[in-house]
């Protein structure tokens, strides 16, 4: 099993895009660095006492890293017999690679943050602790958690990870623009097309304003595939689930139609998340598909009436989730202390709740959702509650051990269609052949 982990993680990483989230990718927010080139730095020095020391590897830098350090400090101050050492290991992709190396060298951390699309890969290699016995021993159950964020937590009846810094894609809207055109917030693809085309401005042969935009990412096409009642992988995971039914062609033809009229600005791959967010903040685009993790930064920077809304539906509302979970490594030598850290983060009011309030990530337990602090925040910033409410439509259909390899080919298809204007059907034909080849391995 471990051979499969190392073989698949040898695939060149094409991730690195969105505020703690993305379909198979992660995209940095303004508070998280896109790429770390520094050596790991311990945020807390190991205690030189008889305390049990827990190593926690995470992927949050910038402001979110500071909030993570503060959470670790709260734990250490409230637990005199345990010292958690938090280590920033770079972005999600770099953390995955370093974790792979640590497993090979049998020098693993006790707890690690793992981008949710990779949890299954590590679980299949049998290197993640089953948390069910620990949960039961603590008198807890999975009923505590919001079900929309638990799709990547179980593997073969084992509870292998728990949500922490999680998000979903959402629609960010310049309502001032819509009001000027007498348009309502779009709720369907047809309404989105009408609004995006109406907001587009072309002067002297050049577009000075686009109707909508979205970052270069697998997240948004996957969302649209599920909205059209398709699935990324078929139910038996032997092929893709949006080819034979014509859903893939429908999604990409829709996007190309919008792009051809200037209604959709599709950004360069490099730094696409920051490019689209800046365009939205500058009023150069009226509607943006983006992470829920962008809400806080946009609310504090834009000079117009800013609202959020569910991603518009085709046949149904549906959206993938993103971000990372936390897991205990099966080879941890301090499992009791490691579980206490996980339990505290997940369920203690002084655990991850302040972190969630500070960062803008989604509350992942019912207690967090119902807390006085969260309710007051939502009353003050209703845009954030929209993001949480959309979880009722959360659907993750890209769960497979082959996802990293298939994702690489899917990015090639997106680039061929959106950048090179290759024929949609021909491109999907090629992608299906490659995906089928990978899935048969």
Confidence of residue 401 (pLDDT cuts 50, 70, 90): confident
pLDDT at 23 over 50: no
Report percent pLDDT > 90 for the chain: 80
Strand partners, 114: 325
> What is the per-residue pLDDT across 26-75, written as a single tens digit (0 to 9) for each?
443 333 333 333 344 444 444 455 899 999 999 999 889 999 999 999 99
Single pTM value for the model = 0.84
Euclidean distance between CA atoms 146 and 156, whole angstroms: 20
**Helices (H), ranges, 200-351:** 219-227, 247-260, 272-281, 295-299, 335-347
What pLDDT sits at residue 48?
Answer: 52
The DSSP letter of residue 56 is: E
Euclidean distance between CA atoms 279 and 42, whole angstroms: 36
pLDDT at 360 over 90: no
Among candidate residues 118, 113, 116, the one with its CA nearest the CA of residue 59: 113
What pLDDT sits at residue 31?
Answer: 33
Task: List domains and CATH numbers for the chain.
Answer: 2-167+322-370 (3.40.190.10), 169-319+398-439 (3.40.190.10)
Q: Share the mean pLDDT of the chain.
A: 90
Q: Which of 120-124, 286-290, 428-432 shows the lowest per-residue confidence on average (mean pLDDT)?
A: 120-124
Report percent pLDDT > 70 for the chain: 89
What pLDDT sits at residue 296?
Answer: 81
């Amino acid at each position: 099993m471990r051979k499969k982990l190392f073989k698949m993680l040898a695939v060149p990483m094409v991730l690195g895009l969105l505020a703690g989230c993305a379909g198979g990718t992660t995209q940095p927010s303004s508070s998280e660095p896109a790429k770390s080139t520094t050596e790991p730095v311990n945020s807390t020095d190991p205690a030189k006492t008889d305390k049990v020391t827990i190593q926690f590897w995470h992927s949050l830098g910038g402001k979110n890293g500071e909030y993570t350090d503060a959470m670790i400090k709260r734990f250490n101050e409230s637990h005199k017999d345990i010292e958690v050492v938090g280590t920033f290991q770079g972005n999600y992709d770099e953390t995955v690679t370093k974790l792979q190396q640590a497993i090979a060298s049998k020098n693993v951390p006790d707890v690690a943050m793992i981008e949710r699309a990779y949890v299954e890969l590590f679980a299949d290699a049998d290197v993640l602790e089953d948390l069910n016995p620990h949960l039961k021993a603590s008198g807890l159950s999975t009923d505590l958690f919001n079900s929309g964020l638990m799709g990547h937590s179980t593997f073969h009846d084992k509870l292998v990870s728990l949500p922490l810094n999680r998000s979903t894609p959402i629609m960010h809207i310049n309502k001032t623009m819509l009001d000027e055109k007498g348009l309502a917030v779009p709720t369907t693809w047809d309404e989105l097309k009408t609004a995006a085309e109406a907001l587009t401005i072309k002067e002297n042969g050049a577009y000075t304003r686009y109707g909508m935009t979205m970052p270069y990412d697998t997240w948004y096409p996957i969302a649209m595939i599920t909205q059209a009642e398709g699935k990324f992988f078929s139910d038996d995971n032997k092929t893709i689930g949006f080819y034979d039914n014509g859903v893939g062609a429908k999604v990409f033809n829709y996007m190309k139609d919008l792009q051809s009229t200037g209604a959709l600005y599709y950004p360069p791959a490099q730094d696409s998340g920051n490019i689209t967010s800046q365009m939205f903040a500058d009023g150069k685009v009226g509607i943006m598909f983006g992470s829920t993790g962008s809400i806080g930064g946009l609310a504090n920077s834009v000079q117009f009436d800013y609202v959020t809304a569910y991603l518009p539906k085709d046949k149904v509302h549906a959206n993938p989730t993103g971000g990372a979970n936390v897991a205990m490594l099966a080879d941890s030598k301090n499992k009791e202390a490691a579980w206490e850290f996980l339990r505290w983060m997940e369920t203690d009011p002084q655990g991850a709740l302040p972190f969630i309030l500070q960062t803008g990530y989604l509350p992942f337990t019912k207690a967090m959702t119902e807390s006085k602090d969260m309710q007051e925040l939502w009353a003050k910033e209703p845009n954030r509650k929209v993001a949480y409410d959309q979880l009722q439509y959360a659907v993750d259909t890209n769960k497979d051990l082959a996802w990293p390899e298939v994702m690489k080919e899917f990015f090639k298809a997106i680039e061929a269609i959106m950048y090179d204007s290759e024929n949609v059907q021909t491109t999907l034909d090629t992608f299906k052949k490659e995906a089928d080849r990978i899935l048969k391995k």
